[in-house]
């Protein structure tokens, strides 16, 4: 049976798994915001990057936004541990507890007013707001019968390219991992450096030696080098085809290194809003920028940053800090609706872990991913995996 839906501006309708979908003409008011906590272990045991940082099990929060129509949307927030960005797992739940009472009764699909209210009710803490905003995009899609990818502009191709992060190890071990990841279809590799510069130089050289035609290598220091260390590294690898990503902690330090090298340059941790994007574009501080959904505060602001970069002609890696199936679906939605020539890469976090938290999430196919065509994010949480709610505000 085919269900035909006629779009009417400023109208709302119910979405349900049965075959009847009709407009109600009413706003969908937020009736309840809940949260679930779920651990996401890694297939490879641990994930290591600059400064000796390491995570074995990621602490993810699944956000559930229920409306007075009974329609429910889902989002997810999963910080990369408490020592990467100003974000941590329990902080997500504490922030939602503080923020949620201000949102009850608001129209879940009025994303502009909703984000304004979140910013007024809780200063900063962008990552706390990300899961709620993501769940409301899911609701917007479900209520209109359209995918989030479609709402964000529509697909530019059949699928899009992914990168594979190579966790920090000894140089020879990191080089050896390339063949295995290539067998999975990856052609873009993000090498985790940012440690001892002499070891990092060897890491870059050994992995670069494994690259094949058409492949790209990014040396991501995750802010781990001091300026003199970064200067030594870029000089030592100047004859190699490698991108340099966020070598130092501050924007100014990174800009200094940018001026000392002709390597393509990626900015990440220093860019977390529109002012930084505009400044970096003006200063010619980057060739590629990494936009993480939760770092910007959700899909609404990540899309704003994405669209600004499109207008500026800046290539992007579109992703998040970490996550499972729901975050992967959200990443796919914004990445797949980005012009192909400006999408440098993206990622599929749900392939890194051992636990699937939702059905219907995009799955990697030969190093590439495609966003769902189903309404909303196209995912249905596995409630038996999520377990009991850890938070409920109504």
Tens-digit pLDDT profile for residues 310-359: 999 999 999 999 999 999 999 999 999 999 999 999 999 999 999 999 99
Q: What is the mean pLDDT of residues 152-178?
A: 97
Q: What is the mean pLDDT of residues 303-313?
A: 98
pLDDT confidence of residue 102 = 98
Share of the chain above pLDDT 90, in %: 88
pLDDT confidence of residue 166 = 96
Question: Rounded CA gap, 194 and 375, in Å?
Answer: 41
pLDDT confidence of residue 11 = 37
What is the chain's mean pLDDT, rounded?
A: 93
Stated pTM of the model:
0.92
Active-site position among 53, 129, 155, 192? 192
Q: What is the mean pLDDT of residues 256-263?
A: 97
Question: Rounded CA gap, 125 and 95, in Å?
Answer: 8
Query: Is 192 among the catalytic positions?
Result: yes
Q: What is the mean pLDDT of residues 90-100?
A: 97
Q: Residue 196 contacts by C-beta under 8 Å, 6 or more apart in sequence? A: none
Strand partners, 381: 358
- Tens digit of each residue's pLDDT (9 = 90 or more) over 189-207: 999 999 999 999 999 999 9
Active-site position among 48, 292, 295, 303? 292
pLDDT confidence of residue 27 = 85
Question: Rounded CA gap, 297 and 129, in Å?
Answer: 6
pLDDT band at 81 (very low <50, low <70, confident <90, very high): confident
pLDDT confidence of residue 213 = 96
Q: Is the pLDDT of residue 221 over 80?
A: yes
pLDDT confidence of residue 53 = 86
Q: Is the pLDDT of residue 46 over 90?
A: no
pLDDT band at 51 (very low <50, low <70, confident <90, very high): confident
Q: Is the pLDDT of residue 9 over 90?
A: no
pLDDT confidence of residue 211 = 97
Query: Is 43 among the catalytic positions?
Result: no
């Amino acid at each position: 049976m085919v269900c035909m839906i006629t779009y009417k501006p400023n109208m709302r309708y119910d979405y349900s798994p049965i075959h009847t979908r009709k407009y109600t003409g009413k706003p969908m008011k937020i009736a309840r915001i809940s949260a679930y906590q779920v651990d996401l272990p890694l297939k490879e045991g641990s994930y290591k990057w600059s400064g000796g940082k390491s995570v074995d099990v990621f602490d993810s929060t699944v956000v559930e936004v229920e409306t007075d129509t009974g329609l429910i949307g889902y989002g997810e927030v999963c910080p990369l541990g408490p020592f990467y960005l100003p974000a941590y797992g329990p902080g997500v739940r504490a922030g939602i507890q503080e923020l949620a009472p201000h949102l009850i009764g608001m129209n879940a699909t009025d994303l502009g007013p909703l984000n304004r209210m979140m910013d007024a009710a809780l200063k900063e803490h962008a990552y706390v707001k990300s899961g709620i905003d993501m769940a409301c995009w899911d609701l917007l899609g479900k209520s209109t019968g359209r995918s989030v990818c479609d709402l964000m502009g529509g697909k530019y191709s059949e699928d899009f390219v992914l990168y594979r992060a190579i966790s920090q190890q000894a140089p020879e071990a990191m080089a050896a991992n390339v063949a295995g990841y290539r067998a999975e279809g990856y052609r873009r590799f993000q090498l985790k450096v940012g440690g001892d510069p002499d070891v990092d130089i060897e890491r870059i050289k050994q992995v670069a030696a494994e690259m094949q035609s058409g492949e790209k290598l990014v040396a991501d220091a995750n802010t781990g080098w001091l300026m003199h260390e970064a200067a030594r590294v870029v000089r030592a690898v100047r004859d190699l085809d490698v991108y340099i990503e966020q070598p130092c902690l501050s924007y100014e330090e990174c800009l200094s290194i940018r001026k000392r090298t002709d390597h393509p340059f990626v900015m990440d941790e220093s860019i977390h809003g529109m002012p930084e994007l505009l400044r970096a574009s003006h200063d010619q501080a980057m060739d590629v920028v990494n936009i993480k959904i939760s770092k910007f505060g959700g899909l609404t602001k990540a899309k704003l940053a994405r669209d600004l970069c499109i207008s500026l002609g800046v290539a992007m890696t579109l992703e998040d800090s970490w996550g499972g199936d729901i975050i992967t679906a959200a990443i796919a939605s914004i990445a797949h609706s980005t012009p192909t020539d400006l999408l440098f890469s993206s990622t599929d976090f749900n392939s890194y872990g051992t636990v699937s938290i939702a059905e219907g999430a995009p799955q990697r196919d030969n190093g590439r991913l495609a966003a769902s065509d189903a309404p909303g994010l196209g995912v249905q949480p596995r409630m038996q995996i999520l377990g009991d709610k850890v938070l409920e505000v109504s």
